Every structure is written in structure tokens, then in C-alpha cells.
A = this chain, B = another copy of it.
Amino acid sequence: MQITFTAVPGIPLIAPGDDLAAIIADALFASDIRLLPSDVLIVAQKIVSKAEGRGVRLSQVTPSPRAVELAQVVQKDSRLVEVILSESVEVMRTRPGLIIVRDIRGWVCANAGVDRSNVAQDEGDEVVLRLPLDPDASAARLRQGLCERAGVDMGVIVADSHGRPHRNGVIGVAIGVSGLPALEDWRGRPDLYGYALQHTEVALADQIASAATLLLGQAAEATPVVVARGVPRTRCEGSARELVRPPEMDLFR
């Protein structure tokens, strides 16, 4: 059994309005990668957000009083904090340099995923990048676009890098999923000695995203697309929302 992760070469810098499915399909055609329906395509959140025009010019943001207050606590630009708050439903933890929120998509993450790295200055006006508004829908559109152009109905994951409690370092996670289960329910499967597994749900899409992030790197636009081949999985529509633990079930709120 073998799983292979291959970075797709030749993806250009992405601009708002770009047709990401067409660009990725072209890059795949130009490469040696011949797609299979069992493949999973992992796409860095950053190029999805850029194509979808999710950048915000800080010069056009007016911070609310709440953003100004929080900006002093966390020592960030109050306009950036305003963008973060507009993407959040709950501020969970703060300390200088860090705001951890539950974002409008349900993810508990730093800065609601709003990023100022790798975003080109726009005529001297700093642009920050928000996550895709609905990353599942982004994944589904990419999947459909690639199916139309490449004739192969692959799974698609939109991947981001998140920090996490208890452990140092960021890891790749899935924030958008289409065409594969985000979560696999192994409960009731017999283990080697015939016990039924009691608790095990496996975050399949997160593990694939972590693996692909080994190639995506952090300067993700250099190699923002990876093809995974050989991942054992069932077919289904899937949704990254399967991975969202409801707040009332979260022991570390």
C-alpha cells in the first residue's frame, strides 16, 4: 500500500477573478500527472481566497470602538482587528500578538485566518486576505470545474495551516471538502482481536491536508496545489463541517 503526494508545477500567481479550475487544469495537463478518479486534489486556501477576491485594503477599513480596544490589548493594527472581528462569532482567547476566535465558518483559529503574509502590497496600501466565505462551496466549484475540464471527478480539499492547543507548531487542516468524507466513522469496526472500536472517528481530510502541507509549505503560492494518490477512502459529497466540533461538545472552550 502506498500513498503519493505530488506538487503540481507551474501554477502562476493568482489574482482576483482568476478561474482557478481552468488554471489548475492547464497546469495538470502540462505536467506528467495523469489524474485518476480516486485522486484527491489539495489546494492552498490562499490562492482560493485570492481568486475569490477576499482581500481587503486596510485603508478602506474603519475600526469600531471594540476593534480599537482589542487592538490595544493584542498590539495589532485596529483596522486588521476590525477585519478579524468581522470574520468571527466569538473571541475565545487573546494575548499580545494573538487573537483566537471561533470564526463565522465554525473554525477555532488565530486571527480568523486573516493573513497579511504573502499578500502583495496594492499600490502601497496593505491588503490582508480573509478565508473563502464558504470553503466547502469553493471546493465543490473547483471539483466541478476540474471534472468538466479534465473529465475526472476527484475529491478536493481546501487546506489551511492552523495552530492548536497543547502542541507547538502549525499543521495543515481541511477547511473545505468536496467529494470525500472529511470524517470517517470507524466505530463498530472490529479490531484485530474482535473488540468493536468504541470511540474512533478519524479526521481523514485533516490528515490528507497535513500531508499535502509538507509540500505546500508556508509560502504556499510557490506550490499551492498537490495531488494525493492512493488514499483509501469512500466516495461521498463530504463537508469540512463534519470536522467542526459544536461548542457545547468542546471541553476546551
Residues in chain A within 8 A of chain B (CB atoms): 1-7, 93, 95, 97-98, 100, 107-108, 110, 116-121, 161, 164-173, 182-184, 186, 189, 191-193, 195, 197-204, 206-208, 210-211, 213-215, 218-219, 221-223, 231-232, 242-245, 250-252
Report the Cα distance A201→B167, complex, angstroms: 11
Say yes or no: B211 contacts A207, CB within 8 Å: yes
Given contacts A195-B117, A200-B170, A207-B214, whether A165 and B5 have CB atoms under 8 Å apart is no
Q: Specify which of B4, B118, B208 is in contact with A191 (CB 8 Å cutoff).
A: B118
Q: Name the B residues within 8 Å of A214 (CB-CB).
A: 3, 204, 207-208, 211, 231-232
Excluding A118-B192, A169-B202, 18 further A-B contacts by CB distance (< 8 Å) are A1-B215, A2-B5, A3-B5, A93-B251, A117-B195, A117-B197, A118-B193, A118-B195, A120-B193, A121-B193, A164-B165, A165-B251, A168-B242, A170-B200, A170-B203, A200-B218, A207-B210, A207-B214
Q: How many copies does the complex hold?
A: 2
Report the Cα distance A186→B163, complex, angstroms: 14
Q: Name the B residues within 8 Å of A97 (CB-CB).
A: 199
Say yes or no: A4 contacts B2, CB within 8 Å: yes
